[in-house]
Amino acid sequence: MITPYTLPGFMELMPVDQVKFDYLKNTIEKTYLKYGFLPLDTPVIEGADILLAKAGGETEKQIYRFNKGDSDLCLRFDLTVPLAKFIAMNQGQLSFPFRRYQIGKVYRGERAQKGRYREFYQCDIDVIGDEDLPIIYDVEMPCIIKDIFDTLGLDFEIRINNRKVLNGLFTSLGVKNTQDVMRIIDKYDKIGKDAVADELVKLGLQGSDVVKLMEFVAIEGSSQDKIDKARAFDIQNEEYLKGLDELEQVIQHVKTLGAEDTIVIDFKIARGLDYYTGTVYETFIKGHENVGSVCSGGRYDNLASHYTNKKFPGVGISIGLTRLYYVLNELDLMKQVPNPIKVLVLPMDNAQIGYALKVAKAVRDLGVNCDTYFADKKFKNKLNYANKQGVPFVAIVGENEEKDNAVTIKNMFEHTQGTVKLDSLKNILG
């Protein structure tokens, strides 16, 4: 006999909680479909050469890698590398701009700690262009994020920036170690202005540059104000100005769509990955900014450079669903999700089991999700099961009901009950 256990860092929910998780997942999937994305489902296992073509550093250490026969295999650690592979492989068959969503599990052998998972769902969308992709596609991404988080009933803010703005600014200031500088600026909201300034000086930046950077990231006002102020910032760098132009286009369309309250410019958003080259997005739950971004993404110039010479620019976002579920639960922000099972059929006695099956069939034929309870227990135990399952309606089936071709429906929330003929069931449940 082995004591059963689930590995640490692996989420395994009770069905009643899995229902809530699935509600999040279904909301995301439905919204992705609403915006014209079609599904893709790549393997969890890929050849190590495929997955490691680009990886390195921290990611590579976390990868689950193993041999099976002669094959050197890995579990995917994100859904972007498999997408790059897929597009490079199938470029001749696809229509561009190519939109796909993928919702699936990915694996990272991180050090186990509360709220960090080694197996977690990512929910990604990307639009991929063939050689180029107009900036307008960058507008739909935050609209999709907004749609999802509105549906989830959350109070949130989507912050956008453009990597060209930061890159251009750094170039103009003569800053060399841009990755490090971005990493530090990214911590602005966490550690504060002074600590960021200190770290930048420690990194070797000149005092005057640090002051300029601090002035820049502190620019206030509406999104349009921020762009205007940044333009007036006297940075004569082409990339910087191009980034501001792109940001302005995105913001103007966001305004047309009436979304400017939730989608705002934040010049501090850098996104660690060197991958991004234009618009970048982060999403924060208001009042809970400390949990970090719950949906991020951005624009990149070249998706599949490790597998093809052809250039595939794109823009995408990703929701870390497992972490989002964890966070919403911890913060008690999970919307009340209705029980997908609406009715439970309870025979009073074993003699009514056959009739109970018929009643369940009648309920299900109405398209209503219906459980049945046939264990040979006292009626009290049966009702106890009903209460635990939290079904809104219990259909009680006794001798009289069977005789009358009827059923007694108990409304478990309103504590009312009434008897109806089977053929009138739809008036109550329909």
Segment 311 to 350, residues that bind its own copies, using CB under 8 A? 340-341, 344
Contact residue for its own copies among 203, 291, 357, 428 (CB under 8 A): 357
C-alpha 408/C-alpha 380 separation (Å) is 16
Is position 232 an interface residue for its own copies (rule: CB under 8 A)?
no
C-alpha 194/C-alpha 214 separation (Å) is 9
Tokens of 232: 């007036």
Residues 187-226 that bind its own copies (CB under 8 A): none
Contact residue for its own copies among 292, 389, 408, 428 (CB under 8 A): 389
Cα R_g (the chain), whole angstroms: 27
Could you tell me the smallest distance in angstroms from the CB atom of residue 350 to its own copies? 8
C-alpha 147/C-alpha 141 separation (Å) is 10
Is position 109 an interface residue for its own copies (rule: CB under 8 A)?
yes
Is position 155 an interface residue for its own copies (rule: CB under 8 A)?
no
Q: Which residues contact 2 (CB under 8 A, 6 or more apart)?
A: none
Contact (Cβ atoms closer than 8 angstroms) between residue 227 and residue 248: yes
Amino acid found at 335? K
Contact residue for its own copies among 3, 113, 236, 290 (CB under 8 A): 3
Contact residue for its own copies among 114, 194, 234, 375 (CB under 8 A): 375
Question: Which region holds residue 23: left if phi is over 0, alpha if psi is between -120 and 50, else beta?
Answer: alpha
| Residue whose pair of structure tokens reads 């079904």 in the numeric block | 391
| Angle between helices 238-256 and 163-173 in degrees, nearest 10 | 160
Is position 43 an interface residue for its own copies (rule: CB under 8 A)?
yes
Dihedral sign for Cα atoms in the order 45, 47, 51, 56: positive
C-alpha 150/C-alpha 259 separation (Å) is 11
Stretch that binds its own copies, among 16-24, 191-199, 226-234, 406-414 (CB under 8 A): 16-24
Stretch that binds its own copies, among 100-108, 151-159, 164-172, 223-231 (CB under 8 A): 100-108
Could you tell me the smallest distance in angstroms from the CB atom of residue 290 to its own copies? 28
Q: Tell which residue, 429, 313, 262, has the closest CA to residue 360.
A: 429
C-alpha 255/C-alpha 223 separation (Å) is 10
Residues 65-84 that bind its own copies (CB under 8 A): 65-69, 71, 73, 84
Is position 119 an interface residue for its own copies (rule: CB under 8 A)?
yes
Q: Which residues contact 16 (CB under 8 A, 6 or more apart)?
A: 390
Is position 405 an interface residue for its own copies (rule: CB under 8 A)?
no
Stretch that binds its own copies, among 36-44, 168-176, 239-247, 271-279 (CB under 8 A): 36-44
Residues 261-320 that bind its own copies (CB under 8 A): 304, 306-309
Q: Which residues contact 245 (CB under 8 A, 6 or more apart)?
A: none
Is position 61 an interface residue for its own copies (rule: CB under 8 A)?
no
Burial 154-186 (b: 16+ CB within 10 A, else e): bebbbbbbbbbbbbbbbbbbebeebeebbebbb
Is position 388 an interface residue for its own copies (rule: CB under 8 A)?
yes
Would you say 187 or 306 has its CB closer to its own copies? 306
Would you say 58 or 376 has its CB closer to its own copies? 376
Question: How long, in residues, is the chain?
Answer: 430
Would you say 197 or 425 has its CB closer to its own copies? 425
Contact (Cβ atoms closer than 8 angstroms) between residue 284 and residue 87: no
Number of residues that bind its own copies (CB under 8 A): 102
Would you say 89 or 273 has its CB closer to its own copies? 89
Contact residue for its own copies among 370, 396, 406, 425 (CB under 8 A): 370
Q: Which residues contact 49 (CB under 8 A, 6 or more apart)?
A: 72
Contact residue for its own copies among 55, 76, 79, 99 (CB under 8 A): 99
Contact residue for its own copies among 55, 125, 128, 133 (CB under 8 A): 133
Stretch that binds its own copies, among 39-47, 155-163, 167-175, 275-283 (CB under 8 A): 39-47
Stretch that binds its own copies, among 177-185, 275-283, 284-292, 367-375 (CB under 8 A): 367-375
Q: Is the peptide bond before 43 cis (omega within 30 degrees of 0)?
A: no
Could you tell me the smallest distance in angstroms from the CB atom of residue 421 to its own copies? 18
